[in-house]
Amino acid sequence: FSREYPEEFIETGVSAIDGMNTLVRGQKLPIFSTSGLPHSELAMQIARQATVPEEEEESDDEEGSEFAVVFGAMGITQEEANEFMEDFERTGALERSVVFMNLADDPAVERTVTPRMVLTTAEYLAFEKEYHVLVILTDMTNYCEALREIGAAREEVPGRRGY
């Protein structure tokens, strides 16, 4: 047996991704960055430009053809949060988005719960409402730091249970 050839993709509007590292429905697209690089701008660009191409043999009913972006940001500054929201409102991306934001001054426990809330919302939209959903989680580094912080507070050895 072989895997089914992926045919349904999500257009991100970023030519380097769409042309060389196509994002297929159900696939994860990691974006690795370091301090000083515009990873937040890239996440915003994908959130506002992403679309699902129309199927050629589309039936008359519109069920399952809706597209939503579920966006989660962890450990970001208030300035970054304002920038995300202003960009989503200005470009109209907010109309088809669900946004979860955990700020840097919020408790670390909330930072670890944010991705779970994002994924639960995405599953609800996908399976209950039959939406096509794109999940964007940004700054996973802050998420990992929160896990380390909680582990240190519980006096756990970092490699013992893993993160």
What is the reported pTM?
Answer: 0.82
CA angle in degrees (0–180, nearest 5) for 75-80-85: 110
For residues 80-92, give the mean pLDDT: 95
- What pLDDT shows up at residue 56? 45
* pLDDT exceeds cutoff 80 at 6: no
For residues 121-127, give the mean pLDDT: 94
Q: What is the mean pLDDT of the chain?
A: 85
Question: In 26-75, which residue ranges form alpha helices assigned H by DSSP?
Answer: 39-49
Domain-wise residue ranges, the chain: 69-161
- What pLDDT shows up at residue 160? 57
Strands 9-10, 97-103: pairing is unpaired
Helix/strand/coil for 9 = strand
CATH architecture for the domain at 69-161: 3-Layer(aba) Sandwich (3.40)
- What pLDDT shows up at residue 47? 92
User: Token digits for 6?
Assistant: 């992926």
* Residue 97 to residue 93: CA distance in whole angstroms: 6
* Per-residue pLDDT tens digits for 13-71: 899 888 888 888 877 777 777 778 888 899 999 999 999 887 544 544 455 468 999 99
Confidence of residue 143 (pLDDT cuts 50, 70, 90): confident
State the greatest distance between any 2 C-alpha atoms of the chain, in Å, as a whole number. Answer: 59
